[in-house]
Amino acid sequence: MFINSLRYTDKSYNEFIALDCETTGLKPDEHKIIEIAAIKYKNGEIVDTFHTLINPQVHIPYYITKINGISDDMVKDKPTIEEVMPKLIKFIGNLPIVAHNASFDAKFLKCASYKLFGKDSINNYFIDTLKIARMIYPHLPNHKLETIKNYLGLNLKSHRAYDDTIVAANIYLEYCNR
């Protein structure tokens, strides 16, 4: 399997995609994406959203359900990754992708792209808000999204793709406004 290497940038962009995936495990070549959220921002405002649960066509382990609350029952009637990826790729276009611990999400997207299309169709720049958070919040005890969410006073769920995407976007927007 040939996966293109990740292209990172720390530039500020007026238009970007904030993205997060929830998965059945930690290994992109073995585990499946079960939720994707992508939020398009322009000039600091949300202009469009893409969010769906995904039927992984495998059992979601109990320990994963315990973390993110996503169960087999919740995804049984949802689209598969084969249905979702073409729409997601179109939604993202060539915009930079902002994600917390970006390599995790990027590897899952790139692996899914390769399995579906026989090639890595994700060549966007990635901006890692974990790296940014360590720089702009050095005083925090850790740089997990949940810790930052609480620090910023955001009333959102943790370990769900849409809400985690909003936290990552907030980190990036604060970085851009410095």
Query: Residues 31-53: pLDDT tens digits?
Result: 999 999 999 999 999 999 999 99
CA distance 14 to 122: 20
Class of domain 13-176: alpha beta
Residue 102: what are its φ and ψ, rounded to 5°? -55, -30
Torsion of CA 42, 131, 145, 32, to 10 degrees: 90
Residue 113: what are its φ and ψ, rounded to 5°? -60, -45
pLDDT tens-digit series, residues 97-145 = 999 999 999 999 999 999 999 999 999 999 999 999 999 999 999 999 9
Q: Is 31 annotated in the active site? A: no
Average pLDDT over all residues of the chain: 95
How many helices (H) and strands (E) are present in the chain, helices listed first? 7, 6
Cα 94 to Cα 56, 88, 90, 177: the distances in Å are 26, 12, 9, 23
Residue 33: what are its φ and ψ, rounded to 5°? -80, 135
Which residue is catalytic, options 59, 100, 139, 159?
Answer: 159
**Residue 1: its pLDDT value, please?**
60
Q: Where are the domains of the chain?
A: 13-176
Q: 143 near 137, Cβ under 8 Å? A: yes
Average pLDDT value for residue range 51-64: 97
**Residue 102: its pLDDT value, please?**
97
Q: What is the model's pTM?
A: 0.95
**Residue 4: its pLDDT value, please?**
76
Please state the separation of Cα 100 from the chain's center in Å: 7
Residue with tokens 């692996």: 111
Longest dimension (CA), the chain: 44
